[in-house]
Amino acid sequence: MHSRKQKMPPQKTVNAIETTVFDSSSSPISNTNANIKDNNKVTEDSEHEILLPLHHAPQDNALDNPSTTTSPSQAKKVGTALFYAVSSLGVIFANKIVLSTYQFPSVQTLALLQFASTTAALKLASALGYVHLLPLSWSGIRSIAPLSACYLLNILTGLSATQNLSLPMMVLLRRASILMTMLLEKWMLNARPSPTVQFSVGLMLAGALVAALGDLSFNLVGYVVIFFNDVFTALNGVLMKRTAEEYRKSKMTVLYLNSLLSAVGVLVLLLCMPREVERVRRFELYSNPGFVVYLIFASLMGSVLNLAIFLCTSTNSALTTTVVGCLKNVLTSYLGMFVGGDYIFSWLNFCGINLSIAGSLIYARATFKG
């Protein structure tokens, strides 16, 4: 398998806002939003890719040869970006409605449903020939296990934050993950963000602090959980980025392994929590058609969002996905005031939200201009 590497600008930073995917994702996909930095060398066209030990690299595969691909049309670029934005908004609001409006008691069960649907969707797509999943091996699973563990904790803390915080405050407080990502990149990858990016991150955090001081719906559990979510989001993004620098592998295989291992992990966790299982069993709204629709929608939208991020990043770029993610969070902050029923308005909080949004827009502009 051949690849063509290009030297990336040294001043890009990861947008670690997205939690569902790898980004998330990515994550989430958490984090496909990350731009790979290679400050050491530019390889020749004939250099072989180094793969995570999941399989032996095929020698002649036209699908992996960049020269065989055609440039996507402008309509396709715009369409995939809009698909990502709508999918991301859909999964955030669906999770919020299930966990807050209908008060579904178990984030672990919702996470299990999302992991299972993503795993099944990728396996089905592979069987139909739409995606290529590399053959699994124990060495490959061991290699990706730390990333999968971080991915699992990222998703669980993200869903718990959704349950315990209003959407505007969750979005604002999650922006601390960008600062954590910058610090981790500085430590682990020796990356240096531009002064404009540093200023925008500072403005976002200042806005989040002001909003927190005016948060009339303060929830200590939510604040603690979102702090750990920021840590896991940043760590997930940097681990994914570091892995991508050391190996070249199928993103879909990584997502499949993350979802599969996370599903197994959360299932084991539930088996160790009989009271949680009992609360899920005794939940009274399974006969409510509205709840059932939203639960199914939230379960399936995880895999749809992962597909949307993949299409947006592959059709446009990780940079475009980063910028769209920033703009999507602006909509989430405002629309989230009316979803879930747990946002309490105060002028101090509202001013902090707008200050943080201004920083987010500056960040998006700085990221786009490079």
Higher pLDDT, residue 133 or 49: 133
Kindly state the tokens that stand for 250: 């199928």
Judge whether residue 269 has pLDDT over 90: yes
The residue written with tokens 């707008």 in the block is 354
186: Cβ contacts below 8 Å, ≥ 6 apart = 192
How confident is residue 20, by pLDDT bands cut at 50, 70 and 90?
very low
Higher pLDDT, residue 278 or 55: 278
How confident is residue 317, by pLDDT bands cut at 50, 70 and 90?
low
Nearest to 61 by CA among 134, 1, 4: 1
* Enclosing H/E stretch for 24: none
* Three-state SS at 27: strand
Higher pLDDT, residue 353 or 61: 353
The residue written with tokens 């200050």 in the block is 355
DSSP secondary structure code for residue 134 in this structure: P
Kindly state the tokens that stand for 31: 């984090």
Mean pLDDT, residues 253-278 taken together: 91
Residue type, 35: N
138: Cβ contacts below 8 Å, ≥ 6 apart = none
pTM: 0.74
Nearest to 24 by CA among 254, 334, 247, 265: 254
Higher pLDDT, residue 321 or 78: 78
d(CA 164, CA 174): 13
354: Cβ contacts below 8 Å, ≥ 6 apart = 207
d(CA 304, CA 122): 10
What would the pLDDT profile of 183-238 be if each residue is shown by its tens digit? 877 777 677 788 888 898 899 999 999 999 999 888 999 999 999 998 888 887 77
What is the structure's pLDDT at 100?
93
